[in-house]
Structure 1
Amino acid sequence: MKFVRYSSSWSTAVEAAARLVTPKSILKDPISLVSHEMSQLANNIGSLIGSGHPTLNRIGAYYFESQGKKIRPLMVLLLSRALSEIPIEQRNRIKIDDLDIPDQPVYPGTKSLTAIFKDPVGPLTPLKILHGISPNIILDPLTKPHETLPEFDYKRGILPKQRRLAEIVEMIHTASLLHDDVIDDSDSRRNRPSGNIAFNNKMAVLAGDFLLGRASVSISRLRNPEVIELVSTSIANLVEGEFMQLKNTIFQPNVDLIENDTKIIPQPTGKVPVDIHEYSVSLPKNQTITHEQNVEAAFEYYIHKTYLKTASLISKSSRSAAILSGAQDDVIENCYQFGRNIGLCFQLVDDILDYTQTSEQLGKPGLADLQLGLATAPILFAWKENPELGELIQRKFKNKGDVELAINEVYKHDGLNKTKILAQEYCEKALGNLRAVLPESDSRSALEFLTNAIVTRTK
């Protein structure tokens, strides 16, 4: 059965959502709604990522110059506004502050508070130490506070820390794109040469590291231990998810081998523990594994990998936005689940589009997953019906004709529509999370619209 294509409502959804975080003066021109909001985001991020090297500056800003979906920061902004609709007396889990950085601590023996509060949003460490050189001008590219909260943000209920959170999330995501394009040897991203092609592999990797470093500084400036823990963990999750993709232990269970089981890795010396934690996925031990159990474990592995690589950043930033709003635990948990469900939905749709859209439509290589040897949901659904596909998956479609055979089997066993149904299930769960704890409002409606649009997008 041929996959049914749906007309995209993505651009319409983004424009409608952008109206809620854009000044009224911009609303006269619908086309400018998204470009204005995204340019604001890029400008704010640009003030956070400056370095002392011109080439590093150019590659650091490279992906921010192009028009990406920017779904992550947009979700944070809209969710922040929706959370502000909850009555203030019901948002008392923590003290809500409207400062970019809260008051500095008062140390024992301090004679005057004047010096401490003179520049409450400045760095704690002298700039000449942070940068290793005395600056010619008074400039701290490690942080740029929102000196005054824009009037429309006051009206929308978006706190400065939530705005900064949106910027941090996009910085982390962009860093992961720079790294992913090197790992996957991609040649295009957002309809232009990828960072590794426009510059080179070494510079792309280092620029990604630099963005993560700058993001870490901005995370620490939020001065909320819970949020710092969440967002920092999402960076580690990205790496763990990438390793799950590089070495799929369901299909290649021998942990002493990598690179399609062709290379033996060094044995541990025992000086440092190397045990995996309990939050992992593996096949049942000491029993005969049926095909159904194998498929179930592969799906569990795939979903967990997808959570770590895609949904973790969205879910943890959604949870962080709720924490910063002072919301109660049930609201925080539903915001987290919303981000998790929408993140899984987003990736499932991406997996479908990899089969159905051209490279020009996607702005990046099409059929990349199979070419990279990745078993995503569509092929897993086909494998469930045809056990013989397991051999192709295990060898990562590296033999001649494997990719073409896999594509035919996906269509033959309706793998794309089955993936679409699964994506819709996660979409419905995400909508349920929003409606469970957020009052009716235009911002919640925009989030619902965006959530539905993710399932029907075509790029």
Structure 2
Amino acid sequence: MKTLFSRAFSRIYEIPRKSLFDCPQHRQSLVLTANSHSSIDSNPKEKVDPFSLVADEISLVSNRLRSSAVAEVPELSSAARYFFEHGVEGKRTCSMVLLLMAKSMDKHKPGSSFSCIQDTSRVQLRLKQKLIAEITEMIHVASLIHDDILDDAKTRRGVGSLNSVFGNKLAVLAGDFLLFRALGALASLKNNEQIVSLLATAVENLVTGETMQMAATVEQRCSMEYYMQKTYYKTASLVSNSCKAMALLSDQTPKVAMSAFEYGKNLGMAYQFIDDILDFTGTSASLGKGPLSDIRQGIITAPILFAMEEFPRLKAVTEQGFDNSANINTALEYLWKSNGIQRTKELAAKHANLAAAAIDSLPESSSSDVRRSRQALINLTRILTARNK
């Protein structure tokens, strides 16, 4: 039995991989160094709560997602809606980021008069922006469902994983169904080929990242560069390309669109680094799944990679694999003796600063709503890197 993602694996193997560090988009991010002036390094100008600023829009997106997941067959509807139901829908972080990005890209000048045509155009833009948020959430949840099937995961978000509750076959179909619904929503955008291309690239990157994780050799698993590229594909590509889509929908310049991309990429990377730490330091209650899940599956993340630099003997343990608890315990002993956790926190902080710097680089706006939204995006970099769950 194959998922939609796994059916693409053979095609992905034929695509020559371009290193993230050779990519022009990544090179540009290196210009925004962690030492650059950024609002993240100073006290917030306003104590803006990111979620409160877009709470109403997130509620609308959540309702739309529940409607979009309805299928003719009741069993498929139940499975497809599983992670969109109240109490299981998660924090809607993707939606929050994208809706804030949409507000931060608003080109409307305060006090300007609107004709009926302009007003209609503005409403249509808002609808398209919410649609991008919905599409991104559907792709994100579909990828989580497929990942859980591949990993034989038992829990997700504090409840049983979809595959453990409904079985692998229905979980596969539910994930595929959400992807097809996302594709249908993309088609409704019409004449937005660049937007469609961005989100198609994000889906391809998700497949590539999962393949890299599955097919990694021992040398690749122990490579920081390989880990960074895989992390971008699996975690940061979707939000970065969706942020860029929001900017393009708002008719922003390529430079501004790239700043939006950089924000999403670096925020996504920082978020994953904190996730990697929490896999070692969190609890089942805080994580919504069992701790040490990555290392038990043989997945090597930043804390272990940094520990390996301090204790090269840890690589030999990694090469033996983690099928037995003795090797896991040995790896943990090296980790706690090392600075692996602290260095991963510093890596997360660096990328959070890069994300904030990307927002600071945007052209000034006279709109208080735009400024508040941008401050919320900067505040979000602190919130997501300071979380403990």
Give me the TM-score of the superposition, normalised by structure 1: 0.68
| Structure 2 counterparts to residues 171-210 of structure 1, below 5 A | 171-210=138-177
* 364, 383, 389: which one aligns with 2:314: 389
Cα distance in 2 for residues equivalent to 1:391 and 1:97: 64
Q: 1:218 corresponds to which residue?
A: 185
- Cα gap change, 1:319 to 1:98, in 2 (>3 Å): farther
Aligned partner of 1:408: which letter?
Answer: E
- Aligned-pair identity (%): 39
1:18 equivalent to 2:51? Answer: yes
Cα distance in 1 for residues equivalent to 2:355 and 2:120: 28
List structure 1 segments (4+ residues) > 3 angstroms apart after TM superposition. 85-88, 96-100
Q: 1:247 corresponds to which residue?
A: 215
- Cα gap change, 1:348 to 1:205, in 2 (>3 Å): same
The 3-state SS of whatever aligns with 2:259 is helix
1:73 equivalent to 2:95? Answer: yes
| Structure 2 counterparts to residues 347-358 of structure 1, below 5 A | 347-358=272-283
Cα distance in 2 for residues equivalent to 1:406 and 1:78: 40
The 3-state SS of whatever aligns with 1:365 is coil
User: Going by fraction, where is helix more abundant, 1 or 2?
Assistant: 2
Aligned partner of 2:381: which letter?
Answer: T
Comparing 176-185 and 427-436, the one that deviates more: 176-185
Q: CA deviation at 1:439?
A: 3.3
1:367 equivalent to 2:288? Answer: no
| Structure 2 counterparts to residues 145-160 of structure 1, below 5 A | 149=123, 159-160=126-127
Q: 2:375 corresponds to which residue?
A: 445
Count of residue pairs the alignment pairs up? 329
Is the contact made by 1:165 and 1:321 (CA closer than 8 Å) also made in structure 2? yes
- Cα gap change, 1:382 to 1:52, in 2 (>3 Å): same
Q: 2:68 corresponds to which residue?
A: 48
> Deviation string for 1:140-170 (max 9, x for gaps)?
xxxxxxxxx5xxxx9xxx6211110001100
Is the contact made by 1:344 and 1:423 (CA closer than 8 Å) also made in structure 2? yes
* 243, 249, 258: which one aligns with 1:318: 243
Is the contact made by 1:78 and 1:447 (CA closer than 8 Å) also made in structure 2? yes
Larger radius of gyration: 1
Cα distance in 1 for residues equivalent to 2:297 and 2:200: 28
Is the contact made by 1:374 and 1:396 (CA closer than 8 Å) also made in structure 2? no
Is the contact made by 2:235 and 2:269 (CA closer than 8 Å) also made in structure 1? yes
Gaps of 5+ in 1: 1-12, 24-36, 89-95, 101-148, 254-294
Q: 1:308 corresponds to which residue?
A: 233
- Cα gap change, 1:53 to 1:404, in 2 (>3 Å): same
- Cα gap change, 1:38 to 1:328, in 2 (>3 Å): closer
Is the contact made by 1:182 and 1:204 (CA closer than 8 Å) also made in structure 2? yes
Aligned partner of 2:272: which letter?
Answer: Q
Cα distance in 1 for residues equivalent to 2:321 and 2:144: 22
Is the contact made by 2:128 and 2:189 (CA closer than 8 Å) also made in structure 1? yes
Cα distance in 2 for residues equivalent to 1:79 and 1:355: 32
Is the contact made by 2:107 and 2:250 (CA closer than 8 Å) also made in structure 1? no
Cα distance in 2 for residues equivalent to 1:15 and 1:311: 24
Give me the TM-score of the superposition, normalised by structure 2: 0.80
Is the contact made by 2:98 and 2:243 (CA closer than 8 Å) also made in structure 1? yes
Cα distance in 1 for residues equivalent to 2:198 and 2:271: 21
Cα distance in 1 for residues equivalent to 2:91 and 2:249: 25
Q: CA deviation at 1:352?
A: 0.4
Gaps of 5+ in 2: 1-45, 111-117, 366-370
